[in-house]
Structure 1
Amino acid sequence: MILGIGIDVVSIKRISAKKTLDFAKKLLTADEFKKYQTLKSSINEDMFLAVRWALKEAIYKSLKTKQLFSDLEIKKVNGLYECYIDDEIVLHLSVSYENDTVTAICLAERI
């Protein structure tokens, strides 16, 4: 059963302008933050944050729930983004980026 569909579009420049350690800590889980700290360039940091912001917003919209950003962990596995909620919910995630824009879509499904 489809629970909902969420979409978010974010400007990478907007995320870059907000980028502080406090912002990253509020947005990311502890494991995501560790990975973020290993990134070698500002461009990679900005993209990492923008993708996670857009995906987490899309997930919240699809689930119609209010959780902290740091409650959701986004992982990239074999080139695909994944997020685990629980055994009964599957999140189908898709991300696209062009120029300064990241677009994320989430289809939430109860199995």
Structure 2
Amino acid sequence: MGDFDLGVLAPLIAAFEAAAGDAEVARVVVDVSEVGFAGSVFLNQLLRLRRQQPTVLAGQLPNRLLRLTGALGVFPVADDVAAARRCRPPPQRGRPAPEPRYDCPPAAG
């Protein structure tokens, strides 16, 4: 289990910034399946990334963080990285949605 707190976020922030600046990136998959603790700094970075690139979480963040901050339901969540890579935005009908909801199929099994 890993913890994402202020002391270990620098490499993650650098990776997020690189992905956000890459026009070739269709979506960013963040594997949170082994995260034991994720604080508000980590959540803030996820929200910043999400504003710049479609972002899908693979696995479950500690629910308490998302529930307490009102961020539960903000991110599409897939069972695992493979399923997250298969997530697709919904077909556009009329005006594009400001935040398209992705369809994340269950993990293949």
Report the TM-score when normalising by structure 2. Answer: 0.25
Write 1 or 2 for the structure with the bigger share of helix. 1
**Bigger relative contact order (CA 8 A; separation at least 6):** 1
Write 1 or 2 for the structure with the bigger share of strand. 1
